[in-house]
Amino acid sequence: MTTTATELGTLVDGLLERARTGGIEGAGAVAAAIDRPGSEPITRSGGRTVSFAEDGTALPDDSGPDVDRSVTDVYASSLFDMASVTKVVTALTAATFLDEGALGLGDLAIDHLGPRLVPDARITVRHLLTHTAGLPPTMPLWRIQGTREERLAEVGGAALHAAPGTTHAYSCIGFILLGEILTRLGGEDLPQLARRRVLAPAGAATATWWPDAAARSRTVATEYAEDPPRGLVRGEVHDETAWVLEGVGNAGLFATLEDALAIARVLAGRAPGPVLSQGLRAEMARDQLTASVTTDAPWRQGLGVRIGQELPDGSVQTTVVGHPGFTGTALWADPAEGTVAVLLTNRVHPRRDRFEVLEARREIARQAFARAGTA
């Protein structure tokens, strides 16, 4: 099965066109890529960095002589807010500590963070990596007045919805705690740790939690935020909790198409670094949900990655691992074949309830990973 550049271009153009004409499945900025071993990556991108006004109307395509097209148009070098795809980088950073023996999957979170930040002494690192700690999915920490530590301490008082290790329920709060454990282990903040241990070795040269002024000019916009009242969010993390805490493990990473491909290649075992043992790689991609763990999720759970991706016909490509992001991003890898794929959009622009990209995710997965006869 051969994926053509035409197919990927059709996917990207379709998302952009439906955003302009009022469709539900669309986005104002899109970049996509499929990369197979032994071949040059197929990449497509398009749209505008800011496409909509606050009231949701499309902005005019001003092509006058004073417009800097390199800033306003979307290219492969444009930065996207990766949202929860950040969790993949956090998990890979944790993997480097696991491989060194400085961290154990059975380590108690409370032993690393203390009781002020951990609401249940039974929560382990494995629970945090697999969303089985019983922690709430999110907490409105941006509404709490105080310092970063005082906001984090609210997590320590959170009520669990289930005993640790009994239920699989997606939790950004768990990855915030995981990032804090890594910070304490490494002696520097998570963005610096991730840069040194994962992003730089992988070749994700421009991926960052902190876009500088030049990078912000090529960052695509996300939402016109009202709670908290931030106006047009661009070059700052969209996720409210990650924004107020700064430099946490659940969200906050910005990346280009090539950065995202580099991260996906780590999952596929094709990146120049970080060097992880085969045993740990296998454990990351192994289904962690035993028969005694209940779940309502349509996917299976590895260490920090989801296992399986739905295709357009409803079947699931079970060899694929990866992660989506709320802003409309996603990356996937097939460790067995080495193929990786990336879809970057800003589907939350201008409002989070305006667009979806679910069908586009299924379609790019078909193009990248479907075997003959499965889609």
pLDDT of residue 61: 76
Please report whether residue 271 resides in a domain. yes
pLDDT of residue 60: 86
Half-sphere exposure of 256 (CA within 13 A, CB side): 17
Residue pair 321/301 in contact (Cβ under 8 Å)? The answer is no
Domain total for the chain?
A: 1
Question: Token pair for residue 92?
Answer: 């890979």
Hunting for tokens 């009022």 — which residue is that? Answer: 22
**Residue 77: CATH number of its domain:** 3.40.710.10
Question: Token pair for residue 101?
Answer: 């023996």
Please give the helix or strand (H or E) that residue 70 lies within, else none: helix 69-72
Residue 350: is the preceding peptide bond cis (ω within 30°)? yes
DSSP 67-111: --HHHHB--TT-BEE-GGGHHHHHHHHHHHHHHHTSS-TT-BHHH
286-330 pLDDT, tens digit per residue, is: 999 999 999 999 999 999 999 999 999 999 999 999 999 999 999
Please report whether residue 121 resides in a domain. no
Question: Token pair for residue 251?
Answer: 């969200």
Residue pair 328/27 in contact (Cβ under 8 Å)? The answer is yes
Please report whether residue 45 resides in a domain. yes
Please report whether residue 138 resides in a domain. no
**Alpha-carbon span 87 to 82, nearest angstrom:** 9
Determine the straight-line distance between the first and last CA of the chain, rounded to whole angstroms: 11
Please report whether residue 180 resides in a domain. no
Question: Token pair for residue 220?
Answer: 């695509």
**Contacts with 74 (C-beta within 8 Å, 6 or more apart), sequence order:** 29, 30, 31, 45, 46, 47, 48, 49, 220
Please report whether residue 269 resides in a domain. yes
**Contacts with 196 (C-beta within 8 Å, 6 or more apart), sequence order:** none
**Alpha-carbon span 372 to 375, nearest angstrom:** 7
Please give the helix or strand (H or E) that residue 233 lies within, else none: none
**Contacts with 258 (C-beta within 8 Å, 6 or more apart), sequence order:** 76, 77, 204, 205, 206
Distance of CA 185 to the CA centre of its chain: 23
163-186 pLDDT, tens digit per residue, is: 999 999 999 999 999 999 999 999
pLDDT of residue 67: 64
DSSP 196-234: IIIIHHHT-TT-BSS--HHHHTTBPP--EEETTEEEE--
11 φ/ψ angles, rounded to the nearest 5 degrees = -60, -50
Residues of the chain with pLDDT under 50: 1, 372-375
Q: Find the domain containing 36 and state its range.
A: 5-55+72-84+189-369
Please report whether residue 127 resides in a domain. no
